[in-house]
Amino acid sequence: MPELLSEDWIEAARGVLADLPAVGDVDTSVQYTVTGAPGGRIVIGIVISSGRVTGLEVGRVTDPGCRVSLDYEVLSRIIDGSLDSDVAFMRGAVKVEGDHAGWLVDLRDLRARIAKALSAISTGGD
């Protein structure tokens, strides 16, 4: 099992997310900045087209719909299902700049599906 946010994990995540079915018809991009990761701060961009994840890259996104900041522990807990991303946002552990409504409402179901799919990478399960 690759370590969360490692190069191997990112590569596995690309494959898992590319296989997800569409959720809604949202077109946007989200730039995530994760602090406190084992390798230090990391920026990841996710591109969503017609409700599907069509891109996952390390680095900044050009003109993202929103920018999300959180720490590694919070991300780990969201992915393993022990913390809901909406709850983390309400507690101030996840900060969103830009299109708040897009991230909170339009991407809610897709975010949940992404977290569940990514948990399989960390646990080695489906």
pLDDT tens digits for 80-117?
999 999 999 999 999 999 999 999 999 999 999 999 99
Would you give the end-to-end CA distance of the chain in angstroms? Answer: 13
Q: What is the dihedral of CA 50, 98, 91, 56, to 10 degrees?
A: 40
pTM of the model: 0.92
Asked if residue 107 is part of any domain, the answer here is: yes
Is residue 37 a contact partner of residue 53, using CB atoms and an 8 Å limit? Answer: no
Angle at 57 between CA 51 and CA 61, to 5 degrees: 75
Q: What is the largest CA-CA distance in the chain?
A: 35
- The reply to whether 75 falls in a domain is yes
Here the CATH number for the domain that contains residue 43 is 3.30.1050.10
Q: Which domain holds residue 37?
A: 7-123
How many domains does the structure of the chain reveal? 1
Q: What single-letter amino acid sits at 33?
A: T
